[in-house]
Amino acid sequence: MTSHAPLSIAHRRRHPLARVVVLLLALVAVGVLYAAVTGSGTASAARAAATPQQIEQGKELFLEGCSSCHGLNAQGTSSGPTLIGVGAAAVDFQVGTGRMPLAAPSQQAARGPVSYSEEQIAALAAYVASLAPGPAIPTESQLEYADADLAEGGELFRTNCAQCHNFAGRGGALTNGKYAPSLAGATPKQMYEAMVTGPQSMPVFADTTLSPESKLAIIKYVNDIQSQPTPGGLSLGQVGPVSEGLVLWIVGLGMVVAAAVWIGVKAS
Amino acid sequence: MSGQGHEIEPSEPAGAPSAHAPGLPPHQQRRADIDPIAARRAERQVALMFVGAALMVIAFVAAFVAWPSVYTTFTLPVLGTVSASNFFLGLTLGLSLFLIGAGAIHWAKKLMPDVEEVDERHPMRGTDEERAAAVAAFERGTAESGFVHRPLIRRTLLGAMALLPLPVVILLRDLGPLPRERLRSTLWSDGVRIVTDPALTPIKPSDIPYGGLVSCVPESLAEVEEEEGTLNARGKSPIVLVRLRPEEIRSQQGDDWDYEGILAYSKICTHVGCPTALYEQQTHHLLCPCHQSTFDLADGGNVVFGPAARSMPQLAITVDADGYLVARGDFDQPVGPSFWERG
Amino acid sequence: MSTVVKAGGAGADYLDERTGLSKFMKKNLGKIFPDHWSFMLGEIALYSFIVLLLTGVYLSLFFKPSMTEVVYNGSFQPLNGIKMSEAYASTIDISWDIRGGLLMRQIHHWAALLFVAAITVHLFRVFFTGAFRKPREMNWVIGVGLLTLGVLEGFAGYSLPDDLLSGTGLRIAQGITQSVPLVGTYAAMFLFGGEFPGDDFIPRLYIVHVLLIPGIILALITAHLMLVWYQKHTQYPGPGRTEDNVVGYRLFPVYTAKAGGFFFVVFGVTALLGAFVTINPVWMFGPYTPTQITAGSQPDWYIGWLDGALRLMPNWEITAFGYTISPNVFLPAAVIPGILFTALGLYPFIEQWVTGDKRHHNILDRPRNVPVRTALGATAISFYLILWIGGGNDIIAQSFDLSINAITWTLRAMLFVVPPLVFVVTRRVCLGLQRRDREKLLHGYETGTILRMPTGEYLELHAPISDTERAVLLGHEQYAPLALEAGPDDNGVEPKQGLSTRVRARLSRAYFGEQVPVPSDGELAEAEHHAHELAERQRRQIEG
């Protein structure tokens, strides 16, 4: 700026701090772009923060459909455990698979028809998440398992999951009428949420002891075994030798004994 | 028998069958017996089955060539997605065998004579003369051998034969090592870090949430396995870590064997040794899937159901200087199934 | 003469000059075998054994019986890079990389299940028809031996692939061995070459499975068949059949065709099973490691009852003076099967002692005519079945949404309540059937045609039974229990009877006790006369 020429409008528009502001805006833009592209490591920052309206909607739905068992403040009653700290993931899992609301008290909540719409489930999840920090709903990027190690997933599955859910994920019995359900129809999101929240009898497999990569490997393996062909023929439910023995006695022995009877019967 | 002198008389059955037996029922002719057209038809049916079998063999060869990979699949109703190779090889092989059999049976039933014939049964035992001759031959042989009236030979022979099985038994000694104290110790000892299975990462207490279950092994396991080349160490040392709230723990096998509510129990069932890892988070029960032995981990691993008689051994744990969970020593009892010298 | 006939003649001449073949052929080509489908059950076992030998040889060409650890590098992706034994890796290769390998594995396994099942139903037939009586007691014992060996062979066979499921079974076997008092730990160490799992067991099991047991089975089968050959087969009572003959068809050509054809049928059925139904998909179980296990771990069906016994047994253990005895393990795993198999093997001798019956028996019993034996057999089967169901209690709980604990308790109770009940009911049913047979002999069978007489009475028409059926029903042997010698002898001395004599007489009475007598000739004649009279009366009344 060398002369005392009259200040033009353009000059006056350029505020001395303009450069600083532009730089700050640029930084923020890059930061948002980076976060949007890579996603966040910590679950709690992953989702767009729940809006107050969502939380309010969730609270209303909660009071209507859940508070009778879980208490007006979700602190729990004799009919249902506390939901404080269970996180959005637990709600998304339980309500999203139709396990909750529990129609009648029973030994175990079973998978069933879903009673709420996706929007309502999100609202309920947001409300419960607002009560105390807990596992959040995994994002799309967190569920990308295409690059996971299939064989490692198998090892992890057999060490951590097969003892309850059976080698093919067909489920198994627990004590006193409880059971580990079949994994057929479970989506990757639901599997992840179940591992992280430990619904009902299922233990909690936190990300600190079963890393997210391990979880993705397990999910990949479960998807693989469920879509694997059964090269040997009819699969008999993949519960092991019990069904094979039944088929042998009924079909196998039946056929050869029928042949024996045919041999013995007088021809006409 | 009673040996008291009076023989018990076996009673004879009344109404023995032969008294009432009519002769063989009259033979009923089959169609093919009387009608030559029916016979030719039966013949053609049999031939058709044999031809079918031959065709199936050709189809088998074709299937073998057509599908070199088991991985090629196709979907069938009811059966699902099956391997084309396995299905067609099995179908053609099975049918070729079955048709040969069915053809032979059909041939026998329709065309071969089905007149019942009778064969006499002769007494199994030898005649009295045969028996006497046999006895005489045996007695002569015994007498000639001197076995009876040369007791020195007899006794020394029997003595030597009696000892002969000994080398057989003794040779088996090196089948395996003596048990000694092998069953009493595992890889765990004071300061051995607890690592996850199969990732082998060490664990900090804060890593385990309430209701968590972690399958773990000793840190030294990988090295030992590499050295030994077997899974033996893995057979005794796996444990499960669970975290309860301190007020939920009703009893333990030793004072303060837990660490801030984290309990370490053996994973090997005390019944017959299956890995017991079905942990019910809410009841704190550890269930073995083999025979349903149930252990209450909140109550010192005591058995609450099932055939296991002893509680699950607990491992005392603490943290080391870096904050990772470590064992405080080995188990205070042998893990796994019971044995005689267990004590 | 055609070339074939000429060549056949030359061949026969060659052999006869050297082995005397014609003498054998003269006697045996026309050997008579009775014809009934229930006599072919043993054949199913024989043919499945041949199938096992053939498919087994094929598998042994590719299987590697070694526990050496390898890293899998084959085509099956879900196991890529996983450490496993060579045994398991070779089984995966057979299943996925060798054409026909999976088929052979499946046929082999289905045939193994069929082998034991066939022996079992054959055993039932022999038991319930009393074919084990003199002169066939030894054959029965050989048969029980074959059953035991078959079960052991099957266990060894499915454990060879060293997969997670069968490896768990080996661990259980080791735990059971270890629990045997005094020698358990030594036996377990010697068996496994050290601690479990070691690296000796699969190779040792392999030799047992492909050489030792098949060799013994072959020898026993040969003895078993030779006895059947020389003693001639038994037959059901019927027209023309007596204790001193065999009625049936000749070996050549009828039985050659029927039995030979049946072999192909059995082989074909197992091959079709191998094509249509998956069995033992070991690639899904993963390799064996002692830290892993699957829910729903069961053995193959013929070991299921032992697993069930282990599950149902309460947790009884005794510790004293520094020693531990585990009845909770060795009672169900050793004592119960020991008692059952010993009782099974000794049964012909026990029955002979009770009945005092030393005669040859070539005519079979109809099960209804020996109610106590039939009831005993049914009781044993019910006991076995309850244990067998117990072996699958977690699968039942899972499939029907029940509590596994409740199922276990229920089965425990049933184990004591059901067998006696089955005994009583079966015996009653047999006696009821005997009564019906007697009615049929006396009055013919009910036709269901009701006649209303002009006088107002309703009569059911009975038709006479056929001669064949008459012969069968009259073939009912009437036994009388052993009588103690009663009364004093000439010098007025009462006969002394030892305890075993009295027990024997008591058991004999219980064994035969209640029987429905076959109508005597007089009763039959009278009934026939009565039937004629009735028919006459009806005819007169109808004709008016």
As a whole number of angstroms, the distance between CA C440 and CA C429 comes to: 16
Full domain range(s) for residue C398: 365-485+495-544
What stretch of H or E contains B116? none
Nearest CB among B81, B108, B215 relative to A160 is that of: B215
Query: Residue B10's pLDDT is what?
Result: 47
Count the residues in chain C. 544
Report chain C's terminal Cα–Cα distance, integer Å. 73
Same domain? For C107 and C205 the reply is yes
* Cβ contact, residue pair C405, A265, below 8 Å: no
Q: Is A151 within 8 Å of C78 when comparing Cβ atoms?
A: yes
With beta carbons under 8 A apart, name residues in chain C contacting A155. Answer: 82, 286
pLDDT of residue B13: 46
Q: Is residue C516 part of a domain?
A: yes
Would you say residue C131 lies in a domain?
A: yes
The pTM (predicted TM-score) of the whole model is 0.91
pLDDT given for residue A231 in this prediction: 94
C66 vs C527: which has the higher pLDDT = C66
Q: Does B24 contact chain A (CB < 8 Å)?
A: no
Least confident interval from A96-105, B149-158, C293-302: A96-105
Q: Does residue C25 carry a pLDDT above 70?
A: yes
Query: What average pLDDT score do residues A241-263 get?
Result: 96
> Is there a single domain that holds both residue C18 and residue C79?
no
Task: Give residue-wise pLDDT tens across range A127-175.
Answer: 999 999 989 999 999 999 999 999 999 999 999 999 999 999 999 999 9
Quote the DSSP letter at residue B193.
Answer: B
* A63 Cβ contact partners less than 8 Å away, ≥ 6 residues apart: A72
For A182-194, b/e burial (b = at least 16 CB within 10 A) is bbeebebbbbbbb
Q: For residues B193 and C447, which has the higher predicted lDDT (pLDDT)?
A: B193
DSSP state of C484: P
SS3 annotation, chain A: CCCCCCCCHHHHHCCCCHHHHHHHHHHHHHHHHHHHHHCCCCHHHHCCCCCHHHHHHHHHHHHHHCHHHHCCCCCCCCCCCCCCCCHHHHHHHHHHCCCCCCCCCCCCCCCCCCCCCHHHHHHHHHHHHHHCCCCCCCCCHHHCCCCCCHHHHHHHHHHHCHHHHCCCCCCEECHHHCEECCCCCCCHHHHHHHHHHCCCCCCECCCCCCCHHHHHHHHHHHHHHHHCCCCCCECHHHCCHHHHHHHHHHHHHHHHHHHHHHHHCCCC
Q: Cβ of B275 under 8 Å from any chain C Cβ?
A: yes
- Kindly state whether residues C12 and C134 are assigned to the same domain: no
Q: Is residue C298 part of a domain?
A: no
- Neighbors of chain B with 3 or more C-beta pairs under 8 Å: A, C
Residues in B touching C198 (Cβ below 8 Å): 230, 232
Mean pLDDT score, A102-130? 87
Per residue in C320-340, pLDDT (tens digit) is 999 999 999 989 999 999 999
Chain B residues in contact with A202 (beta carbon < 8 A): 281
Please state, as a whole number, how many other Cβ atoms lie within 10 Å of the Cβ of residue B278: 25
Widest Cα–Cα separation across chain B: 100
Better-predicted residue by pLDDT, C538 or B161: B161
Q: Is residue C317, in this structure, part of any structural domain at all?
A: no
A3, pLDDT greater than 90 = no
In contact, B50 and B103? CB cutoff 8 Å: yes
Mean pLDDT of B67-88: 93
Q: What average pLDDT score do residues C169-182 get?
A: 94
**Closest-CA distance of chain A to residue B281, Å:** 5
Domain count, chain C: 3
Q: What is the 3-state secondary structure (H, E, C) of C264-309?
A: HHHHHHHHHHHHHECCCCHHHHCECCCCCCCCCCCCCHHHHHHHHH
pLDDT at A195 over 80: yes
Tell me: do C373 and C403 sit in the same domain.
yes
pLDDT of residue A31: 63
Task: List the CATH code of the domain at A47-131.
Answer: 1.10.760.10
Identify whether residues C223 and C128 lie together within a single domain. Answer: yes
In a domain, C330, yes or no: no
* Same domain, yes or no: C16 and C94: no
pLDDT band at B21 (very low <50, low <70, confident <90, very high): low
Residues of C whose CB is below 8 A from A264: 35-40
Residue B37 has pLDDT above 50, yes or no: yes
B306 at interface of C, judged by CB pairs closer than 8 A? yes
Rounded average pLDDT over C34-38: 92
Q: Does position B6 have pLDDT exceeding 50, yes or no?
A: no
Q: Please calculate the CA angle C409-C411-C414 and round it to the nearest 5 degrees.
A: 115
Contacts of A among chains (3+ CB pairs under 8 A):
B, C
Q: What is the mean pLDDT of residues A190-218?
A: 94
Per-residue pLDDT reduced to its tens digit, A39-81: 444 444 334 567 888 899 999 999 998 888 899 988 988 888 8
Q: What pLDDT score was predicted for residue A32?
A: 64
Q: Inter-chain contact A239–C395, Cβ cutoff 8 Å?
A: yes
Q: What is the pLDDT of residue A48?
A: 54
- Please check whether residues C444 and C509 belong to one and the same domain: yes
Inter-chain CB proximity A167 and C275 less than 8 Å:
no
**Boundary residue ending a domain (C289, C304, C322):** C289
Could you tell me if C352 and B8 are in contact, meaning their C-beta atoms sit under 8 angstroms apart? Answer: no
pLDDT confidence of residue A13 = 58
Interface contact flag, C477 B272, Cβ < 8 Å: no
Q: Does pLDDT of C450 surpass 60?
A: yes
**pLDDT of the residue at A1:** 43
The number of beta carbons lying within 10 Å of the beta carbon of residue C134 is 15
pLDDT on residue A78: 87
- Picking from A240, A252, A253, the nearest residue to C165 by CB comes out as A240
- Cα distance between residue C175 and residue C186, in whole Å: 12
- Shortest distance, CA A175 to any CA of chain C (angstroms): 6
CA of C76: which chain A residue's CA is closest? Answer: A151
> Of the candidates C155, C160, C168, which has an alpha carbon nearest to the alpha carbon of residue C89?
C160
Total beta-carbon pairs less than 8 A apart between chain A and chain B: 111
Provide CB contacts within 8 A for C383, sequence distance 6+. C415, C418, C419
> What's the pLDDT score for residue B20?
47
- The CATH class, in words, for A141-227 is mainly alpha
> Does the fold of domain A141-227 match that of domain A47-131?
yes
**Which of C82, C114, C286 is nearest residue A252 as measured by Cβ atoms?**
C114
User: Given a cut of 90, is residue C389 above it in pLDDT?
Assistant: yes
Q: Nearest residue on chain A to B284, judged by CA atoms?
A: A201
- B25's tokens: 């029922």
Least confident of A209-213, C142-146, C466-470, C538-542: C538-542
Q: Are B50 and B104 spatial neighbours (Cβ–Cβ below 8 Å)?
A: no
- Residue contact C199–B120, C-beta within 8 A: no
> Can you tell me which residue has the tokens 């050509």?
C253
Within a domain: C175:
yes
Cα nearest neighbour of B33 on chain A: A268
Q: Give the pLDDT confidence of C471-493 residue by residue, as tens digits.
A: 888 888 877 777 766 666 677 77
Q: Compute the nearest-CA separation of A142 from chain C (Å).
A: 22
pLDDT in tens, B268-316: 999 999 999 999 999 999 999 999 999 999 999 999 999 999 999 999 9
Say if the Cβ atoms of C294 and A166 lie within 8 Å: yes
Q: What ipTM was reported for this prediction?
A: 0.91
Contact between B24 and C239 using a beta-carbon 8 Å cutoff: yes
Asked, for residue C344, whether it belongs to a domain, the answer is no
Q: Average pLDDT for residues C180-190, to the nearest whole number? A: 93
pLDDT at site B267: 96
State the smallest CA–CA distance between residue A118 and chain C in angstroms.
Answer: 30
Determine the Cα–Cα distance for residues C352 and C363; give it in Å rounded to an integer.
16
> Kindly report the CA angle at C377 between C371 and C378, in degrees rounded to 5?
85
| Residue C215 belongs to domain with CATH number | 1.20.810.10
Do C370 and C461 belong to one domain?
A: yes
Closest CA to C192 of C108, C281, C290: C290
Instruction: Kindly determine whether residue B81 and residue A200, on different chains, have CB atoms separated by under 8 Å.
Output: no
Side-chain half-sphere of C310: how many Cα atoms within 13 Å? Answer: 29
Given a cut of 60, whether residue C184 has pLDDT beyond it is: yes
- Claim to verify: residue C399 and residue C478 sit in the same structural domain: yes
The mean pLDDT value for A123-127 works out to 92
Instruction: Enumerate the domain spans of chain A.
Output: 47-131, 141-227
CATH number for domain B184-342, candidates 2.102.10.10, 2.60.450.10, 3.30.300.30, 3.30.70.60: 2.102.10.10
CB contact under 8 A, A159 and B278: no
